[in-house]
Copies of this chain bind each other. A is one copy, B any other.
Amino acid sequence: MNSTPTADQTCEAAVPPAVRKCSYAEAIGQGLAQAMELSDRVCVLGQLVDYKPGVFGTTTGLVEKFGPDRVQDFAVAESAMTAAAIGAAIAGMRPVLIHHRLDFMLYSMDAIVNWLSLWRFKSNNASALPVVIRAIVGKGWGQGPQHSKSLHAWFAHLPGLRVAVPATAFDAKGLLLESIFGEDPAIIIEHRSLFGLSDNVPSRPYRVRYGKAVVRRKGKHVTLVAIGIMVPLALRAAVQLAAQSIDVEVIDLRTVSPLDIDSVCESVAKTGRLVVADPAWCTGSVAAEVIAAVCEREGRNLKANPGRVCLPDSHTPMSSALEEAYYPNEDSIVNRIVTQFQ
């Protein structure tokens, strides 16, 4: 319809023709564009989705291709926006909602909890809501307490939702497509700091399944489970630890609901050690769930007490000096793992 390049076209071509090097943000944009091409039932709702900056580049170019009805700027009314997506899904659409910050979603919690999550259940499986909510989590440059919350533990606690926390561009696109064309509501938590990272991304539309963790690095001595932004930190920590002859198996959970506890248990059965790195407040975190679920099955076989690397139970400070103390880094992971061998 016009000449604005789509995310797909802007990706720089890589060696195998079917795979291109893309950033996490580009991969999401590609996924959205392909979903909208595959089905005219797919629409995008969110503040400012139809302007050039396109939610950190993830919706840039869509309005030119699909028009302002299907790429719909929304008033600052997150509550009605979410309910509208629910209604649109009842009417047969497959809406994708976007929040620049997860924090803004809090206004829509009634729609999410009391309607979205329980619609299928209370209809006795007669009505489904394939609504996708993309929620972005800020970090750094003084995001402060109202632009940085990663509430994936909340959504994982709720029945009736699928919850993904993709850590790579590959997963970001594959989980987005899987969510859009799945039959359940899905919440995708995207850590803003990952948007610039590149990865090999297949050009065609593909799926990444919910409830299937992936081993990002094989190892024998300790199982390090990581979520979202903690995945690259975990891989870096693993390199550091290899130098100390600690062989770390890194598991990326990918989705926190459903949780792939089987894969974690399998790894722990081999390593006998478990550390979970979760970019969320420690108390009541998904990390706690992973540890509890593993201990219920493998607790007696552990060679060391399990451990967590999480954020402190505190709101996020603005000051860069405090941010540094607040966010765990790869050294935090290294240190936690090292104590298991002392």
Contacts and interface: CB of A to CB of B under 8 A. Distances in A.
Contacts of A151: 157
A108 to B, nearest CB: 9
A296 B307 contact: yes
> How many copies altogether?
2
Report, as a range, how many residues of chain A touch the other chain. 35 or more
Given A118-B145, A296-B306, A297-B305, 14 more contacts: A103-B114, A106-B110, A107-B110, A109-B110, A156-B283, A159-B281, A283-B289, A284-B288, A288-B291, A291-B295, A292-B306, A295-B305, A296-B307, A299-B302
Contact of A315 (B121, B286, B308, B315): B121
A146 interface: yes
Which residue, A107, A292, A293, has most C-beta atoms of chain B within 10 A?
A292
Interface of A: 79, 103, 106-107, 109-110, 113-114, 117-118, 121-122, 144-146, 149, 151, 153-154, 156-160, 257, 259, 280-281, 283-289, 291-293, 295-300, 302, 304-308, 313-315
A110 B289 CA distance: 25
Which residue, A117, A257, A284, has most C-beta atoms of chain B within 10 A?
A284
A156 B284 CA distance: 7
B146 A114 contact: yes
A193 B113 CA distance: 23
30 contacts: A79-B107, A106-B109, A106-B113, A107-B109, A109-B110, A118-B145, A118-B146, A151-B157, A153-B284, A156-B283, A157-B280, A157-B281, A157-B284, A158-B281, A159-B315, A259-B283, A283-B289, A284-B288, A287-B292, A288-B289, A289-B292, A292-B292, A295-B295, A295-B299, A295-B302, A296-B305, A299-B299, A299-B302, A299-B306, A300-B304
